[in-house]
Amino acid sequence: MSEILRLDAVSRHFGGLQALRGVTLGIDKGEVLGLIGPNGAGKTTLVNTICGVTPASSGAVTFMGRDITRIKTYQAARLGLSRTFQIVQPFAEFSVLDNVAAAALFSQPGESLKSAREEARAHVAFVGLEAQAEKSAATLTLAMRKRLELAKALAMKPKLLFLDEVNAGLNSAEVERATGLIHQLAADGITVVMIEHLMKVVLNVCTRIAVLHNGQLIADGEPRDVISNPAVVDAYLGQQYAKRNAAGD
């Protein structure tokens, strides 16, 4: 596999708060990387730093061989970096279809509204929202809004897709459906980085896991190796999870 993204000693501070501390990490094309860790560990900050929302205070970010450390968000989108947001905020009065078309227009300058809508229909169908396509986003359930968020991200034609807690707040059936969509994305060759607290989903979907704690990368490797790492158990998973996992083996 060839590397699509590289972080070299990336740090980010907000005044006196050190949110990221010298994170060095590579992501290969086609893999599904799980990014896990306690609340406040720096996971979303790391995604924001890569995508240009809050540029790195120090270190370097390279995407497909290009230095993007100081990139703007719209530039990141046009290069093929796409993401969902933990707090889903669609254009409430827009239809589902137009929410997705707007994402396509943002990331692909020069595209016509007609072609953006045509593309949007395919993405809306992929996430199973055909019946809601002409309804306003305000009418959607949380699970549907999460699927709309995914459709918007896909409309940006990502080479690398960040999923920020797409399963948060969903019931088991909704999680299962979302997991199936992620499997399909991986099968289609999209590189995925997912921030996720549900370890069952992480182990089902991810080919590799990276763990952040207090802004530092404390583990990176094969899923089964990472979840048995004492540092990960102490910082995040807890002894009860470790015992259950050992019993399952």
Strand-strand pairing, 17-28 and 3-14: antiparallel
pLDDT at 106: 86
What's the CATH number for 1-80+159-166+185-249?
3.40.50.300
pLDDT(248) > 90: no
pLDDT at 245: 74
Question: CB–CB of 97/133 below 8 Å?
Answer: yes
Is the alpha carbon torsion for 82, 87, 91, 95 positive or negative? positive
pLDDT at 26: 97
- Ordered by start, the domain boundaries in the chain are 1-80+159-166+185-249, 82-157
Confidence of residue 231 (pLDDT cuts 50, 70, 90): very high
Q: What is the pTM of this model?
A: 0.93
- DSSP E strands in 15-94: the ranges are 17-28, 32-36, 58-63, 66-67, 81-83
pLDDT tens digit string along 55-103? 999 999 999 999 999 999 999 999 999 999 988 999 999 999 999 999 9
Question: CB–CB of 190/200 below 8 Å?
Answer: no
pLDDT tens digit string along 170-188? 999 999 999 999 999 999 9
Mean pLDDT over all residues of the chain? 93
Question: CB–CB of 140/93 below 8 Å?
Answer: no
Nearest to 167 by CA among 141, 191, 196, 190: 196
Q: At 249, which amino acid appears?
A: D
